[in-house]
Amino acid sequence: MRQAHGPALQEPDWYDRHVGILAAVDDLLFRSKIRAVAKHVNAEIAFAVIFDLNSQKSDPVVTIAALKADPALAGVRTIAFASHVHVDLIDAARAAGADQVMARSQFAGNLADILASAL
Protein backbone atom coordinates (compact mmCIF):
# COMPACT_ATOMS: atom_id res chain seq x y z
CA MET A 1 0.00 0.00 0.00
CA ARG A 2 1.34 3.42 -1.00
CA GLN A 3 0.86 6.49 1.15
CA ALA A 4 -0.06 9.67 -0.70
CA HIS A 5 -0.90 13.09 0.63
CA GLY A 6 -4.14 12.15 2.36
CA PRO A 7 -5.66 8.67 2.68
CA ALA A 8 -3.67 5.56 1.81
CA LEU A 9 -4.02 4.29 -1.76
CA GLN A 10 -4.58 0.59 -2.34
CA GLU A 11 -2.33 -0.82 -5.06
CA PRO A 12 -4.23 -2.80 -7.69
CA ASP A 13 -3.88 -6.57 -7.60
CA TRP A 14 -1.95 -6.58 -10.91
CA TYR A 15 0.70 -4.17 -9.60
CA ASP A 16 4.09 -5.59 -8.69
CA ARG A 17 6.77 -3.04 -7.74
CA HIS A 18 9.51 -5.63 -8.29
CA VAL A 19 8.79 -6.19 -11.97
CA GLY A 20 9.62 -3.44 -14.46
CA ILE A 21 6.94 -4.52 -16.91
CA LEU A 22 3.54 -2.96 -17.46
CA ALA A 23 1.42 -5.37 -19.48
CA ALA A 24 -1.57 -3.64 -21.07
CA VAL A 25 -3.13 -6.99 -21.93
CA ASP A 26 -6.81 -7.92 -21.63
CA ASP A 27 -6.20 -11.66 -21.23
CA LEU A 28 -5.59 -12.25 -17.49
CA LEU A 29 -3.94 -15.64 -17.98
CA PHE A 30 -1.57 -14.28 -20.59
CA ARG A 31 -0.78 -11.27 -18.37
CA SER A 32 0.08 -13.70 -15.55
CA LYS A 33 2.42 -15.59 -17.88
CA ILE A 34 4.16 -12.33 -18.85
CA ARG A 35 4.57 -11.41 -15.17
CA ALA A 36 6.03 -14.83 -14.29
CA VAL A 37 8.51 -14.75 -17.16
CA ALA A 38 9.47 -11.13 -16.35
CA LYS A 39 10.28 -12.15 -12.78
CA HIS A 40 12.29 -15.09 -14.07
CA VAL A 41 14.44 -12.88 -16.34
CA ASN A 42 14.97 -10.26 -13.59
CA ALA A 43 12.93 -7.54 -15.27
CA GLU A 44 13.24 -5.21 -12.28
CA ILE A 45 16.39 -3.68 -13.77
CA ALA A 46 14.52 -1.64 -16.37
CA PHE A 47 11.03 -0.72 -17.49
CA ALA A 48 9.00 -1.69 -20.53
CA VAL A 49 5.36 -1.52 -21.56
CA ILE A 50 3.76 -4.41 -23.40
CA PHE A 51 0.70 -3.71 -25.54
CA ASP A 52 -1.90 -6.15 -26.81
CA LEU A 53 -2.87 -4.39 -30.03
CA ASN A 54 -6.11 -6.39 -30.12
CA SER A 55 -7.25 -4.87 -26.81
CA GLN A 56 -10.93 -4.03 -26.65
CA LYS A 57 -10.48 -1.91 -23.51
CA SER A 58 -8.03 0.69 -24.79
CA ASP A 59 -6.46 2.12 -27.91
CA PRO A 60 -2.89 0.81 -27.76
CA VAL A 61 -1.72 2.54 -30.94
CA VAL A 62 -2.80 5.95 -29.63
CA THR A 63 -1.14 5.20 -26.29
CA ILE A 64 2.12 4.18 -27.97
CA ALA A 65 2.10 7.36 -30.06
CA ALA A 66 1.47 9.46 -26.93
CA LEU A 67 4.33 7.77 -25.04
CA LYS A 68 6.74 8.30 -27.91
CA ALA A 69 5.65 11.93 -28.40
CA ASP A 70 6.35 12.84 -24.76
CA PRO A 71 10.06 13.65 -24.28
CA ALA A 72 9.94 12.39 -20.68
CA LEU A 73 8.51 9.01 -21.75
CA ALA A 74 9.90 8.53 -25.25
CA GLY A 75 12.67 6.29 -23.94
CA VAL A 76 10.28 3.81 -22.36
CA ARG A 77 10.66 0.52 -24.21
CA THR A 78 7.43 -0.52 -25.96
CA ILE A 79 6.64 -4.01 -27.16
CA ALA A 80 3.42 -4.71 -29.05
CA PHE A 81 1.77 -7.83 -30.39
CA ALA A 82 -1.38 -8.66 -32.33
CA SER A 83 -3.02 -11.54 -34.09
CA HIS A 84 -1.04 -12.27 -37.26
CA VAL A 85 -4.11 -11.53 -39.37
CA HIS A 86 -4.27 -7.92 -38.14
CA VAL A 87 -1.49 -6.55 -40.31
CA ASP A 88 -3.11 -3.10 -40.17
CA LEU A 89 -2.64 -2.97 -36.38
CA ILE A 90 0.93 -4.21 -36.62
CA ASP A 91 1.74 -1.55 -39.23
CA ALA A 92 -0.02 1.17 -37.17
CA ALA A 93 1.98 0.27 -34.05
CA ARG A 94 5.22 0.48 -36.01
CA ALA A 95 4.18 3.85 -37.41
CA ALA A 96 3.32 5.03 -33.88
CA GLY A 97 6.89 4.27 -32.81
CA ALA A 98 6.65 0.95 -30.96
CA ASP A 99 10.13 -0.45 -30.39
CA GLN A 100 9.17 -4.03 -31.16
CA VAL A 101 6.02 -5.29 -32.92
CA MET A 102 5.20 -8.89 -33.71
CA ALA A 103 2.50 -11.52 -34.08
CA ARG A 104 1.04 -12.83 -30.83
CA SER A 105 2.32 -16.33 -31.57
CA GLN A 106 5.88 -15.03 -31.98
CA PHE A 107 5.55 -13.03 -28.75
CA ALA A 108 4.21 -16.00 -26.78
CA GLY A 109 6.71 -18.45 -28.21
CA ASN A 110 9.75 -16.27 -27.50
CA LEU A 111 8.56 -14.43 -24.40
CA ALA A 112 11.61 -15.05 -22.20
CA ASP A 113 14.07 -14.01 -24.92
CA ILE A 114 12.01 -10.96 -25.86
CA LEU A 115 11.80 -9.72 -22.27
CA ALA A 116 15.45 -10.47 -21.55
CA SER A 117 16.60 -8.54 -24.64
CA ALA A 118 14.17 -5.68 -24.09
CA LEU A 119 15.33 -5.00 -20.55
| pLDDT digits 0-9 by tens, 40-49 | 665 454 577 8
Does residue 6 carry a pLDDT above 60? no
Per-residue model confidence (pLDDT) at position 40: 67
Instruction: Average the pLDDT over 91-108 and give the result.
Output: 94
pLDDT for residue 2 is more than 60: no
Name the average pLDDT for the chain.
76
Evaluated on CA atoms 18, 68, 29, 83, the torsion sign reads negative
Cβ–Cβ < 8 Å for 78, 117: no
Length of the chain: 119
What pLDDT does residue 108 have? 87
The residue-averaged pLDDT of 63-73 equals 87
Which fold would CATH assign to domain 15-118?
A: Rossmann fold (3.40.50)
34 or 106, which is more confident: 106
Pairing of strands 2-3, 8-9: antiparallel
